[in-house]
A and B are shown apart, each in its own frame.
Chain A
């Protein structure tokens, strides 16, 4: 007997007990639906973390001015300003794996406009910083190297700062006082949102590094050229490690560190920092999917139960088919196809409901959800496997019935 005939018989017998078939499928529907929804939510969370990492800038390495060893005492990161603007230029120019490098100095301070004020982070840097961090300028003019060379008294406000000080008004061209120093607002930065650690990346004022040092934050007396950090961008994600090594080697050479001496700088790969967070999100989604697949197994048991009832109910039919010449394999196939049809139908409906549920979750809770083809295929394959494996025992029981007993069964 061929498969299409088996399928017709299976569909007919499922149609006969519509309510029962629907209830049996419900287990699989809920199981598959839950797996799909959970995977979609989990993948959405992972994707959100990835986009936050991307908001820091892609392929970014941060070099922090580093620990000093003074008389055997290790001082922490940033204890000494060992990095300079020249280091940044050298990294950009001499490391082949490096696309760009931007030095930065940072401080905090009060920004005043009219009768509003706002305490924020003040950052002095070069135009390369905007490229590395992928920050766009929403309003006003571009940040150029001329601003750095001339130590122009201009600033670009982060979205949060602009909103706090100006409300809805246009800040471009207005003069604000940053740490009492009057500075002209040259532009407003496009919003970046939060970092993966929850910091507001728009709560910042950007200045040319020269202006920041000389006019606002004050010059490091030991080294006028010193910076706190350098942001380095590698040319591609696959050569991050290489860029890191080249940067370290160059800095060691420039700082004249003897072999065996500790680095006087720290290199942080941002992606490493946040990959842990990504892993935890992934673990969470695997956990949720595992719980959901338990309900898939429960659904499978439901199918097995109903198939056993069905085999008992149709004992006479089985006996009749056997007397007509149905072989063991024919009966086995018939009941397996029936069980698999139940689970596959349930699986397809479950996939559709899972899609709907994840859409509803992202609509109501505002979580981002994401669903690729793989989880859908997996869920489908899983429901086929559930149908075949839980349908096998009842089908086998039917196939090995004694024809005489089956025919006589009341």
Chain B
């Protein structure tokens, strides 16, 4: 059974007296453990789809089932609970809290899950270690590089052990070398922990790391492509190290 199922999802926005249709009937299934990239120009509706998949927004019509649950009918607080328990978010601009240490940033989702303080600390430290930031727990975001900040954000997204991670242009603010490092972490999470990954990007290079690429145009999926041989970020990284040596 697909963990994400969309049936003819439509999303309209009212902007004054103009109604903008951002999604014009999207039907889609994403299986557990799949690494899917969503590509498209800006305004193609890919961010709208991302918001609906991430339970930040509800479809105007159509059905969205997440693990069999119809999300369209849930209220604000139940949606918040689902985001807290099932979904991790990674943003283009990292969205870390300033003047808050890396550790406390990572603790944030657990705060809303009611995890006791000691366990929060332990799990946050473990998540930071998993993204290669052991020893940086008490650094503030402004003391970390862009790549490190995004890794803190990834640690934060996976600390509540979500089944799905939604990444919205996660490499948009990073240089290409750092982008590969970030993609390596995503691929590792996907391969080793079976986390379903949905990645929104407009860079074909980045989409090439995914197993499946959905192309969006004018609020519709125009192409659903299975990637036969995705790029492997870890291999590229080690290759680069060899070249440097």
Contacts and interface: CB of A to CB of B under 8 A. Distances in A.
B99 interface: yes
B227 interface: no
A327 B56 contact: no
Contact of A325 (B57, B95, B109, B117): B109
B56 A320 contact: no
A325 B91 contact: no
Contact of A324 (B77, B100, B109): B109
Majority SS of interface residues in chain B?
A: helix
A407 B91 contact: yes
B198 to A, nearest CB: 14
B109 A327 contact: no
Contact of A327 (B54, B95, B112): B112
Nearest to A314: B97
B95 A320 contact: yes
B141 to A, nearest CB: 12
A325 B81 CA distance: 6
Contact of B77 (A323, A328, A407): A328
A407 B95 CA distance: 9
Interface string B105-124: 00011011110010000000
B76 interface: yes
B30 to A, nearest CB: 19
Contacts of B97: 317, 320
Contacts of B80: 322, 325-328
B8 interface: no
Interface string B46-90: 000001001011000000000000000000110011011100010
Interface string A9-50: 000100010000000000000000000000000000000000
Nearest to B120: A5
Interface string A269-313: 000000000000000000000000000000000000000000000
Nearest to A316: B95
Contact of B81 (A1, A317, A327, A407): A327
A321 interface: yes
Given A1-B111, A12-B99, A316-B95, A323 B56 contact: yes
Given A316-B95, A317-B97, A325 B112 contact: yes
Interface in A321-342: 321-330
A12 B111 CA distance: 16
A320 B111 CA distance: 13
B57 A327 contact: no
A324 B83 contact: yes
Contacts of A329: 77
A239 interface: no
A404 interface: yes
A109 interface: no
Contacts of B85: 325
Contacts of A2: 114
A323 B89 contact: yes
Contacts of A16: 99
Nearest to A326: B112
A78 interface: no
A16 B99 CA distance: 8
A324 B112 contact: yes
Contacts of A330: 112
A403 interface: yes
A317 B156 CA distance: 14
Contacts of B54: 323
Nearest to A324: B109
Nearest to B91: A407
Given A324-B83, A325-B85, A404 B111 contact: no
A330 to B, nearest CB: 6
Contacts of A326: 80, 112
A335 to B, nearest CB: 15
A145 to B, nearest CB: 81
B99 to A, nearest CB: 6
Contacts of B51: 404
Contacts of A328: 76-77, 80
Interface in A320-367: 320-330
Interface in A44-68: none
Contacts of B109: 324-325
Nearest to A2: B114
Contacts of A327: 76-77, 80-81, 112
Nearest to B107: A5
A324 B84 contact: yes
Contacts of A5: 111, 117
Contacts of B156: 324
B45 to A, nearest CB: 14
Contacts of B81: 325, 327
Contacts of A403: 56-57
A322 B57 CA distance: 12
B76 to A, nearest CB: 6
Contact of B56 (A12, A317, A404): A404
B59 to A, nearest CB: 13
A328 B81 CA distance: 11
Contacts of B113: 325
Given A323-B54, A323-B56, 14 more contacts: A320-B97, A322-B56, A324-B89, A324-B108, A324-B156, A325-B83, A325-B84, A325-B85, A325-B113, A326-B112, A328-B80, A404-B57, A407-B91, A407-B95
Interface of B: 51, 54, 56-57, 76-77, 80-81, 83-85, 89, 91, 95, 97, 99-100, 108-109, 111-114, 117, 156, 160
Question: Which A-B residue pairs are the 8 nearest by beta carbons?
Answer: A325-B84, A325-B112, A324-B109, A327-B77, A327-B80, A320-B95, A403-B56, A325-B83
20 contacts: A1-B114, A320-B95, A322-B56, A322-B80, A322-B83, A324-B84, A324-B108, A325-B81, A325-B83, A325-B84, A325-B85, A325-B112, A326-B112, A327-B80, A327-B81, A328-B76, A330-B112, A403-B57, A404-B51, A407-B91
